[in-house]
Amino acid sequence: MASQSLVAATGVVCGGCVAQQLALTKASFSFAGASQTVSRSFGARLRHSIGISRPWISKRDGSNPYHRGLQVWAEGKTDGASTSTEMKNPQTIEEAISQARGAVQKAIADGLLRQQVQFLLPVDQRQFNYLDTEPRDYPCGIREEFQACCKVVTGMFKEMTGNGEIVSRRIGEADNEQDPVGLMYPTSKSVAAIIFPIAETLKQVRSLAEKERAPLLIVNPQWRSSGQVVSDFGFGPWRRQAEEFVNTFEKTYVLLEMRVGEASNIVSGTGGVVRILKCYPRNWEVYLMAWDGTSELIADTPTQPAYKELEQIVTEARKRIPWKAPPRILGGSEPAPPPLPASLSGALSVEQIDEMDVTAVRRALMALGLPSSGRLSTLKERLIEAQKK
């Protein structure tokens, strides 16, 4: 039904513009020693440079009284959790959130209080269908991605702690819309997350990591440290110290999408789109995606595979797995989007539809099983009518 909420767990809608703004309820709250005016719901991010020791990152040994209490909290939350979403490529953002929650809590129970989490955000082509791998011509901006990530983290925290209030505030330059960074945590302060951290806020990340005894997550970090002579962390000893500190954050949940080789060339049969999943404590898993949203596990490795390894993995998989050629829209060059999972179909406002381009409108109509031919104004009217059913 089109009346179901789009991306039910997060409410994320991003089609060149996020129509749903963060509903923020102002509240005064103290975190990391500083009293700040903060807000409820979704928002956060950070970065800088310097290496430090890991006084409380060791495995659980019972010597730390905080660890003992934390173990009870983490294990108590995971005992009753379903494991069905932990064993496969997630089909929806809701499944990804549940996977991440389970991985984070298992890692906390094992004494890992510094963790790195990477979500595949429900934006652009994944706005209507989380399994769609066909890129959009005009992807959304960093601000929309940041807001989507904050909503996803809110969903994860609510699964972890119940439906209590989630506090959110910006970090670094509050008015910097080019590099938004935020800090989020439940009012219980049982866990905290830094959203979209960048190199310039690493000093603040370090300060939080040293001062706070609660688990600290860095979510979808924006820095790059590989493949460059001068990385985002600088060079020489400064780069080494920064990377040593960042590496104290264990990757406990990662979901990435990569295009390998000639992913869109049906004739070559050597490339493809893969999703790479790490869900603590499991290995890294590589899934080969098909146009219809199905996928097949083609590799399981203890370390994150590099691009060259992925090329070899996909090439070998292509010898075993026939290419599924997608149907085309109206005989044109644009492939039809894959079927829409029920949990992702949802109502859009008239304002949201009015801001959508022709590609987004066609994808939405086809995802709902409706005709996608005609002028843009006609397509929008058709989509508006569909929302009323």
- Residues above pLDDT 90, as percent of the chain: 38
Name the helix (H) or strand (E) containing 246: helix 236-246
Distances (CA, A) of 337 to 60, 120, 374: 46, 18, 18
Instruction: Specify if 360 maps to a domain.
Output: no
Distances (CA, A) of 12 to 130, 160, 216, 317: 12, 20, 24, 34
Amino acid, single-letter form, for residue 54: R
H-type helices in 113-214, by residue range?
142-161, 202-211
Per the structure, the count of domains in the chain is 1
Label residue 265 by pLDDT band (50, 70, 90).
very low
365/369 Cα distance (integer angstroms): 6
Instruction: Specify if 173 maps to a domain.
Output: yes
| Helix, strand or coil, per DSSP, at residue 168 | strand
Q: What is the pLDDT of residue 67?
A: 41
Find the mean pLDDT for residues 331-353. 58
Label residue 371 by pLDDT band (50, 70, 90).
confident
Instruction: Specify if 342 maps to a domain.
Output: yes
User: Which residue shows structure tokens 């005992």?
Assistant: 79
Tell me the sheet residues that pair with 116: 218, 251
The answer to whether residues 197 and 218 touch, using CB atoms and an 8 Å cutoff, is yes
Instruction: Specify if 13 maps to a domain.
Output: no
For the chain, give the mean pLDDT: 73
Range of the domain at 336: 26-347
Instruction: Specify if 378 maps to a domain.
Output: no
Label residue 37 by pLDDT band (50, 70, 90).
very low
Instruction: Specify if 384 maps to a domain.
Output: no
Instruction: Specify if 296 maps to a domain.
Output: yes
Find the mean pLDDT for residues 7-28. 35
204/183 Cα distance (integer angstroms): 11
| Token pair in block for residue 133 | 């791998």
Instruction: Specify if 185 maps to a domain.
Output: yes
Find the mean pLDDT for residues 36-62. 33
Q: What is the pLDDT of residue 257?
A: 96
Label residue 82 by pLDDT band (50, 70, 90).
very low
* Ramachandran assignment for 234, one of left (phi > 0), alpha (psi -120 to 50 degrees), beta (any other): left
383/329 Cα distance (integer angstroms): 17
Q: Is 102 a residue whose pLDDT tops 80?
A: yes
Chain Cα centroid distance, residue 4 = 22
